[in-house]
Amino acid sequence: MDLKDNFTDFTLASNYVMQLAIDEYQSDRNWTRLLDRYWNLVEELIGDPRAKHLPFMDNPLPTLGMILTYLVWVLIIGPTYMRDRKPMQLTNTLFYYNLFQVVLSGYMFYEHLMAGWARGYSLTCQPVDYSDDHLSRRMFNLCYIYYLSKLSEFADTIFFVLRKKKSQISYLHLYHHSLTPIEAWILTKFLAGGNATLPNIINNFVHTLMYFYYMLSAMGPRYQKYLWWKKYMTEIQIAQFVICIGHAINALVTDCAFPKFITLLLLGNASIFFVLFMNFYLENYRKQTSVKTEPESAAKIQEMAIASTFHEQQQEVTALLNKEH
């Protein structure tokens, strides 16, 4: 078997690369040469040759550098710059940015359907097609667009910083925006299609709704009455990860011809997001429920106190009348 031509056997190629890298290190003990040799083997044996000449796809360093720059800016540089400045309004900018994301997410959702999920992809097990036919190329191009879209979403946090919306920049928000670009890079570089694209199509659907919500929110107070469905938006996001967890577990137990290591990563990632979003949901919406019930409880206590006082006064009046008689 020539591993160089057998891109579908991801697990076998991975094991082969790992063994060669270990042998290289044991024979030379040179970390720089080891990393260089290891990456060349990964790209040669596992990497999708269609990705090699695309911007940022040669190696992960540009993507990791952009993620690091993003974190430094939103955590240090941006807040320092805005410390003594008034929050920026950015009303028009936010409207057009969210409109762009709605259109982009809707387009990617449609393309996921047309490139595979409405054209014969199996919900139970779908290996990656590395051929260069029309649908395979269409899915590959879509995976690259999906990767670029995750880089564009850095703007979400940048706008929060410029508007001084510090409470919006949670650990969940930073984790999500830091992790998804490198996930999308791995997808495009090694696994552009198959099972790994199910989370993407669901994510595109969710993001179409989410950015539409943000767009309405940016349109001003007149449109606040149309934002009653925020709670359900979070519930849809939680359902997204439940579906992804079930899909990954099914691929593991049915011996699907998709790399088990990648399936385990998808399962772990979906599980982490499920826990984080559930925690966010419980903290925010349980708190809102308790805030709503507190005034009601206070009103009931007040009514009971008034009734009790009135009853005591009635008893005192009755006692006085009895004494007089």
Buried b (16+ CB within 10 A) or exposed e, 38-63: bbebbbebbbbebbeebebbeebeeb
Q: Say whether 176 is catalytic.
A: yes
Instruction: Indicate the helix (H) or strand (E) that contains 124.
Output: none
Nearest to 161 by CA among 77, 64, 280: 77
CA-CA distance, 111 to 103, in Å (whole number)? 12
Q: Name the active-site residue from 134, 173, 176, 177.
A: 176
Phi-psi domain of 187 (left: phi exceeds 0; alpha: psi -120 through 50; beta: other): alpha
Cβ atoms 48, 189 nearer than 8 A: yes
| Cα–Cα dist 126/116, whole Å | 10
Indicate the SS3 state at residue 276: helix
The two structure tokens encoding residue 273: 């997001």
Of 137, 177, 147, 135, the residue nearest 160 (C-alpha): 177
Q: What is the CA radius of gyration of the chain?
A: 28
Residue at 325: amino acid letter: H
Neighbours of 132 (CB within 10 A): 10
Residue 126: partners with Cβ closer than 8 Å, 6 or more residues away = 116, 193, 194, 195, 198, 258
- Of the candidates 97, 100, 109, the one whose C-alpha atom is nearest the C-alpha of residue 146 is 109
**What's the CA gap between 230 and 224, in Å, rounded?**
11
Alpha-carbon span 14 to 9, nearest angstrom: 9
Would you name the residues annotated as active-site residues?
Answer: 176
